Structure 1
């Protein structure tokens, strides 16, 4: 019974190979045929608007996170930073403060297109690349130190920053 059903299905698939390639009918029962839909110019603009809004939201979140993190590294005493994150105890205080300055500068550059769209987009791509490198290094550091919370936070930040970098870099070309 099963072999007869499988044999009948195989024969149907072989008979409809040409029809499937020509997109006239589906080879498998219950599977709809493929269709091609051309977007209207208005729909394409709306999709681009949604994408742009999503990217600006991600850019804003990234900027807020790194401005806050950089400010904390600049303003908090080293004892507090060591309690919050273990790694500042392993490096010089000047490196922690320098990292805070770098985070703030890169976060502000992520928002550079707000000032000048022509000159800001390349700065945004450069800043997103820098933040992505920084996030990858910090992920490695947190994963090696078995800090699960900061490692997960870095994974989320990497996903957000990589998305912004990928989509905005395509716009610059």
Structure 2
């Protein structure tokens, strides 16, 4: 169904959904750019003060996760450049973020970091609808 066959009511609903998804994508991009930058720029001693898990893994892994977070965050906004090519990059980025968020949720639960676990659960709740709706044809 293309936009020309939608009734005005359905067109408005589609517009609101699109606006909501773009808002969520923007929040996710901002969050993960900030989180990734922190993992890249902060000294390891400071990161271990903020979170428990960096003390248990290599510095290379922490820095690599930071780079991955920034890359996925930028790809969440790829459709701004070109919807034709950016949509598939957005879908891959959303799936990658869901995998990362789910993994870190488990890590934080096992590590006893309740606030970080809650943050990852919230991020999953934001990212899942973005992936669900953006993967559907026509949106």
Q: Which runs of 4+ in 1 moved over 4 A?
A: none
Q: Does residue 1:86 correspond to 2:52, yes or no? A: yes
Is the contact between residue 59 and residue 164 of structure 1 (CA under 8 Å) also seen in structure 2?
yes
Q: Does residue 1:107 correspond to 2:82, yes or no? A: no
Tell me the distance in 2 between the aligned counterparts of 1:65 and 1:117: 22
Is the contact between residue 69 and residue 100 of structure 1 (CA under 8 Å) also seen in structure 2?
yes
- Structure number with higher relative contact order (C-alpha < 8 Å, ≥ 6 residues apart): 2
Larger Rg: 1
Tell me the distance in 1 between the aligned counterparts of 2:38 and 2:138: 33
TM-score normalised by the chain length of structure 2? 0.94
Tell me the distance in 1 between the aligned counterparts of 2:84 and 2:138: 9
In the alignment, what sits opposite 1:12?
A: none
> 1:125-144 counterparts in 2 under 5 A?
125-144=91-110
In the alignment, what sits opposite 1:157?
A: 123
Q: CA deviation at 1:146?
A: 1.2
Q: Comparing both structures, which one devotes a greater share of its residues to helix?
A: 2
Go from structure 1 to structure 2 and tell me whether the alpha carbon gap of 1:172 and 1:143 turns closer, same or farther (over 3 Å shift): farther
Go from structure 1 to structure 2 and tell me whether the alpha carbon gap of 1:129 and 1:172 turns closer, same or farther (over 3 Å shift): farther
Q: Does residue 1:72 correspond to 2:43, yes or no? A: no
Q: CA deviation at 1:42?
A: 0.8
In the alignment, what sits opposite 2:21?
A: 55
TM-score normalised by the chain length of structure 1? 0.76
In the alignment, what sits opposite 1:11?
A: none
Instruction: List runs of 5+ in structure 1 lacking aligned partners.
Output: 1-39
